[in-house]
Amino acid sequence: MSRPTHTTTTVLVTGAAGFVGTHLVDLLLTSGKTVIALDILWTGSSTIIDRFQNNDQFTFVEHDVVQPLPAHLPTVDEIYHLACPASPIQFTKHPRRILETCYMGTNHVLQFALERTAKVLIASSSEVYGNPQVYPLSESYFGNVNPFGPRSCYDEGKRVAEALAYAYRQENRIPIRIARIFNAYGPGMSPTDGRIISNFMVAALRGEPLIVYGDGHASRSFQFISDCVRGLKLLMESDVDGPVNIGNNQESTVKEIATLVTDLVAVRTGRPRVEIQFQPEREDDPVRRVPDARRAKELLGWEPKVGLAEGLARTFAMYEEWYNST
């Protein structure tokens, strides 16, 4: 593999072929960075290669972070470590592999950062707070996580990733950024990944009922993907040490989100609104999750710009295209 010239910042993005990674790579390339995109193409898609292959600042490396990072990788300035499935479907199918990715993968990335003196941003998650008992969620809350349950592989995996980052920072003085990402959505989210907005969009387009688990009063705070990746880049380029919530504090109940989607799809397709059906709530599903985003605002000057209604409309266009092509 050719070694990128070191005149611009060279950035390694692990998990680059996934939903967040693809948008982040796009933003970094647009900002003039040289990007090495690394992924095993598990939940991500090879479309990233087609999309950027003509950009000479882009290189793709197929690699599993559970194995040490390839020695032939060039020196990099920054590493965004995103590699890890984020879809709950994978939590039940491949819990051991997710834990290996979180622990061994993060360890290999930090080891590589140490050898190459690179700055690292760890994509952590609001899931480190588990099923929280305080609202809104500030970075100082330690969480309420079930270590022995269906979401443990991911929740505890993200917690151990943060603990590893802390250990490397203490022992080796690696510059670390921790982004606790709250639910992101937008174009590029796989229609089959089982996350709430993709499930709702796909069901509504197919004319099927939207399934809400519980009574619909559970809440979520969704951020549009362009806001999310802008926040990650600002955090990486800052000198902020310690975890920062990257999330939109506009809170909506799951029922409100389902209603917004049914209305949007009915208006855009001219078809009748689909029904919303309620099913028993799922084990360990958080009841409420809203970030305290003050730290990001005060330290990074970051605030979300895209509201839910606008973001859903922008997301719908991609789902409609996908639906019409299937």
Ligand X SMILES: NC(=O)c1ccc[n+]([C@@H]2O[C@H](COP(=O)([O-])OP(=O)(O)OC[C@H]3O[C@@H](n4cnc5c(N)ncnc54)[C@H](O)[C@@H]3O)[C@@H](O)[C@H]2O)c1
Catalytic residues, by residue number, are 154
Backbone dihedral region for residue 194 (phi beyond 0: left; psi -120 to 50: alpha; all else: beta): left
Using the contact rule CB under 6 A, the part of the chain among 39-47, 145-153, 237-245, 306-314 near ligand X is: 39-47
What gap in Å lies between CA 230 and CA 170, rounded to an integer?
Answer: 28
**Closer by beta carbon to ligand X, 10 or else 248:** 248
**Residue 25, helix vs strand vs coil:** helix
196-206 helix and 308-324 helix, angle to the nearest 10 degrees: 50
Residue that has been written with the tokens 């193409």 in this structure: 41
**Closer by beta carbon to ligand X, 39 or else 156:** 39
* Strand segments (E) across 200-271: 210-213, 219-220, 223-224, 243-246, 252-253
Q: Which of 25, 109, 123, 257 binds ligand X (CB under 6 A)?
A: 123
Shortest gap between Cβ of 7 and ligand X (angstroms)? 28
Task: Give the contacts of 231 (CB within 8 A, at least 6 positions apart).
Answer: 179, 246, 296, 300, 302
Q: Which of 66, 89, 299, 313 binds ligand X (CB under 6 A)?
A: 66
181 contacts ligand X (rule: CB under 6 A): yes
Q: Which of 105, 130, 304, 311 binds ligand X (CB under 6 A)?
A: 105
42 contacts ligand X (rule: CB under 6 A): yes
Largest CA distance in the chain: 60
221 contacts ligand X (rule: CB under 6 A): no
Using the contact rule CB under 6 A, the part of the chain among 72-80, 145-153, 180-188, 292-300 near ligand X is: 180-188
Amino acid at 287: V
Interacting residue ranges for ligand X, rule: CB under 6 A: 14-15, 17-21, 39-44, 64-66, 82-87, 101, 105, 123, 125, 181, 183-184
